[in-house]
Structure 1
Amino acid sequence: MDVALAVRARGITKCFGDVVALDGIDLDVARGQIHGLVGPNGAGKTTLLGLLLGLAVADSGRLEVLGAPVGRTPAAPDGVAGFVDGPGLYPSLTARQNLAALAALRGHDKRSAAIDDVLHQVGLTDVADDRARGFSLGMRQRLGLAAALLTKPRLLVLDEPSNGLDPAGKKHVHGVLTRLAAEGTGVVLSSHRMDDLEALCSEVTILATGRVVFSGPLTKLAAEHPELDFRLLTSDPRAAARLAGEVAGIRVVDDAAAWRGADALVVRALVPALDELVARFVHAGIAVRELAPVVSPLEAAFLTLTEQQETGR
C-alpha cells in the first residue's frame, strides 16, 4: 500500500443495469497533486468521483483512498470532502447558517471564526448573511467549496467547480486549490474548461466510454500529441502565407483569410518548425502580433483520443 498516494484504483468496474459506466479503471493521484479528470458527457467522470466520495461502491476492482481500502458499503472515507452534481445547500438559510448546519451534522468545527475564515477564502464574506436561494451558480459552487474546507480534507473531490464562476470567483477558487495542494492535500477535479485544467493540474486522466485513454503529466500528453494548429497575426499576411508554404514541417491550413486581406493565418506544425517560421518572419521584417494555438494542447489531445476510442481505432 503506497501511503504517498491519495487515491489508488486498480481495475475499477461499475455498471448500472446493462450500462457499463466504468470499465477497468486504473488511477493514481499523489498527495499534494491537483489531478484533472476529463472526458465527454457519459464517459464515467461523475461515477468515478462518486466512488471517491463514498456515494457508491465499485462492482469489482480495488480502491484505496488516503492509504485505506474502501469498503463494500457506501460511506464517505475519513478525510475526504467535496461534491458531485453541485453542492447540497439549504436554500432558506444564509451562507453562514449553511456552513454552521453542515459543520454540526458532520461533527466538525462550527465556531464563527472557522466559518468566517472559509467564507473569506472563497470570497463570500460580503454575502455571508444572504440566503442561499438568491445565490448564482458560481456563488453556490464557492459555498460548496467553503463547506468542504471546514472539514480540513486530505482529499478534495470536485465536480465542475468552475461552473458559473466570474473572473473574481475563479481567482478565489484557483487560489484555494493551489494552496491546498501545496499543503499536501490531494485534489481531484473534473471540468470541461480546458484552460482551468491546464492552469491548475500537474496530471490529467482522460476517460472515454468508461475507459482510461490517457493518464499522466500534461507534459507527456503534449509530447505524445505535439502537432497543433496555430493562429498567426502578422503585419504582412500575404508575405507570411508565402513564407509559411516554404518552411519544411509547416502546413498552411487556412490562408484564405490572409489572401482576402485579413490578418489571420492558420498553420499546422511541430514547435521546431514553428520556431523556424518565426525566425524567417523576423529576417523578412514581418512583425508577429499574435501566435497562439487554435485549441489548447490538452483540448487537441482530448479530441483526438476520445474520437479514436469512440470509433474503435
Structure 2
Amino acid sequence: MDTSLAVRARGITKCFGDVVALDGMDLDVEQGQIHGLVGPNGAGKTTLLGLLLSLAVADEGSLEILGAPVGRALTAPDGVAGFVDGPGLYPSLTARKNLAALATLRGRDARTAGIDDVLGQVGLADVADDRVRGFSLGMRQRLGLAAALLTQPRLLVLDEPSNGLDPAGKRQVHGVLNRLAADGTTVIISSHRMDDVEALCSEVTILATGRVVFTGPLGKLSAENRELDYRIRTSDPEAAQRLALDTPGAVVVESSDAALIVVRADIPALDDLVARLVHAGVAVRELAPVVSPIEAAFLALTDQETGR
C-alpha cells in the first residue's frame, strides 16, 4: 500500500449492461496535487468519478483511496467529498440552510460547522440567505464546492467545477482549489475546459473509450505533441513571412494583411524563427498557439484511440 498516493487503481473495469465504461484502467494520483481528468463524451470520466465518490463499485480490479482499499459497500471513505453532474441542492432552502442541513446530516452542529467561512471562500456570503432556486448555474457550482469544503476533505472530486462561472467566479474557485492543494488536499477535476486544466493541474489523465491513453505531467504531454500552429503578429508581416519561409522546420500555413501569420513548427524551429525576427528588427507583438498544446495532444490521442 503506497501512502503517498491519494488514489491507486489497478485493472478497474465497470460495465453497464453491454456497455464497457471503464476497461482495465490503471491510475495513480499523488497526494496534494490537482489532477485533471479529460476525455471525449463517453470516455468513462463520469463513471470514474462515481467510483471515487463511492456512488458505484467496480466490477473488476482494485481501488485504494487515501490509503484504504475500497470494498463493495456504497460508502464513501472518510475524507472524500465532491459531486458528479452538478451538486445536489435543496432549491427551496437558502444557501446557508442548505449547508446547515448538510452539517446536521453529518452529525455536526450547524452553528460551529464553519458555514459562513466556506460561503465567504466561494464568494457567496452576500447571497447566503437567498433561496437556491434563484441561483445561476455558476452560483450553484460554487455552493456545491462550499458544501464539499464544509467536510474538510483530504480528497476533493469535482465534475466541471467552472461550469457557468463568470471570470471573477472562476478566479475565486481557482484560488480556493490552489489553496487546498497547497495545504495538502488532493483535488481531482473532470473538465472539458482545457484552459482550466492548464491553469490548475500539475498532472492530467486522458481517457478514451474507457482506457487511459495518457497520464503524467502537463509538460510531458505538451512535449509529446511535436508540431503546433502558432499565431505570430509582428510589425512587418511581409518580412516575418520571408524569414519564416527561410527557417528550417517552419511552414507558413496562413498569412494576412493584418500583421499576422500562422506558422507550423516544433519548439526548436519556433525559437529559431523568433531569434531571426528579433535580429532583423521585426517586433513580435503576439506569439501564441492557435490550439493549446494540451488541446492538440488531447485531440491527437483521442482521435488515434477511437480510430478517427
TM interval, shorter chain, is over 0.9
Classify the secondary structure of the residue corresponding to 1:220. helix
2:250 aligned with 1:250, yes or no? yes
2:118 aligned with 1:118, yes or no? yes
Q: Conserved in 1, the CA contact under 8 Å of 2:113 and 2:150?
A: no
Once the two structures are superposed, residues 150-202 of structure 1 have per-residue CA deviations (whole angstroms, 9 ceiling, x without a partner) of 10001000000000001111111111111111111111100111111111100
Which residue matches 2:10? 10
Output the amino acid matched with 1:227.
E
Q: Conserved in 2, the CA contact under 8 Å of 1:109 and 1:150?
A: no
Classify the secondary structure of the residue corresponding to 2:73. coil
Q: Conserved in 2, the CA contact under 8 Å of 1:206 and 1:214?
A: yes
Q: How much identity, in percent, do the aligned residues show?
A: 79
> What does 1:7-86 align with in structure 2 at a 5 Å threshold?
7-86=7-86
Structure 1: distance between partners of 2:188 and 2:35: 5
Q: How large is the RMSD of aligned CA atoms in angstroms?
A: 1.1
Once the two structures are superposed, residues 258-300 of structure 1 have per-residue CA deviations (whole angstroms, 9 ceiling, x without a partner) of xxx2222111111121111111112222111100011111101
2:263 aligned with 1:263, yes or no? no
Give the TM-score normalised by the residue count of structure 1.
0.96
Structure 1: distance between partners of 2:169 and 2:46: 23
Q: Which runs of 5+ in 1 are unaligned?
A: none
Q: Conserved in 2, the CA contact under 8 Å of 1:12 and 1:62?
A: yes
More divergent stretch after superposition (159-168 vs 271-280): 271-280
Structure 2: distance between partners of 1:213 and 1:174: 26
Give the TM-score normalised by the residue count of structure 2.
0.98
> What does 1:276-291 align with in structure 2 at a 5 Å threshold?
276-291=272-287
Output the amino acid matched with 2:258.
A
Classify the secondary structure of the residue corresponding to 2:199. helix
Q: How many residues align?
A: 308
Q: Conserved in 2, the CA contact under 8 Å of 1:123 and 1:172?
A: yes
Which residue matches 1:191? 191
Structure 1: distance between partners of 2:297 and 2:224: 9
Classify the secondary structure of the residue corresponding to 2:306. helix
Q: How big is the shift at 1:109?
A: 5.1
Output the amino acid matched with 2:180.
L
Which residue matches 2:217? 217
Q: Which runs of 5+ in 2 are unaligned?
A: none
Q: Conserved in 1, the CA contact under 8 Å of 2:277 and 2:283?
A: yes
Classify the secondary structure of the residue corresponding to 1:111. helix
Structure 1: distance between partners of 2:269 and 2:48: 40
Output the amino acid matched with 2:140.
R
Structure 2: distance between partners of 1:57 and 1:100: 29
Classify the secondary structure of the residue corresponding to 1:153. coil
> What does 1:105-144 align with in structure 2 at a 5 Å threshold?
105-108=105-108, 110-111=110-111, 114-144=114-144
Distance 1:207 1:113, change over 3 A: closer
